[in-house]
Amino acid sequence: MQAHKNQSFTCRLGFALAGVTHAVRTERSLQIQSVVLLCVLSMLVYLQPAPLWWALVILAASAVLAAELFNTAVERLADHLHPELHPEIRLVKDCAAGAVLIASVGALGVAIALLVALVLDSR
């Protein structure tokens, strides 16, 4: 259990990257969100908004991806510890999915605000 404790930064970074890589390979929602992020970054390159907008978009996108990774971790742990259907486990998983939804709505709000700002700036 303590094998991952007190490892070098490089080792811990490897563990984190392994988790992200596994989740992107196995979770359809993370695959979709990764493609959406690439599209959004392409649009930022094309639109060339102010650096603050880049920061807001990247922060919002990071929140969505992080929430999805937490959701994946919670679901995997819950399924491992309690593979049968159980109302409390379902509630835990629903709450984790709700976190992804809230982060996604926040990211959508940033996208709408950016589009509004770009339209107002073009006038």
Report whether pLDDT(1) > 60: no
Residues 6+ apart with CB under 8 A from 19: 69, 73
The per-residue pLDDT for range 58-85, each reduced to its tens digit, is: 999 999 999 999 999 999 999 999 999 8
Q: What is the CATH number of the domain that holds 103?
A: 1.10.287.3610
The per-residue pLDDT for range 16-37, each reduced to its tens digit, is: 999 999 999 999 999 999 999 9
Count of structural domains within the chain: 1
**Residue 77's domain spans which residues?**
2-121
Q: How far apart are CA 93 and CA 70, in angstroms?
A: 10
Taking residue 31's Cβ as centre, other Cβ atoms within 10 Å add up to 13
Helix and strand totals (H; E) in the chain: 4, 0
Residue carrying the six token digits 């992020």: 37
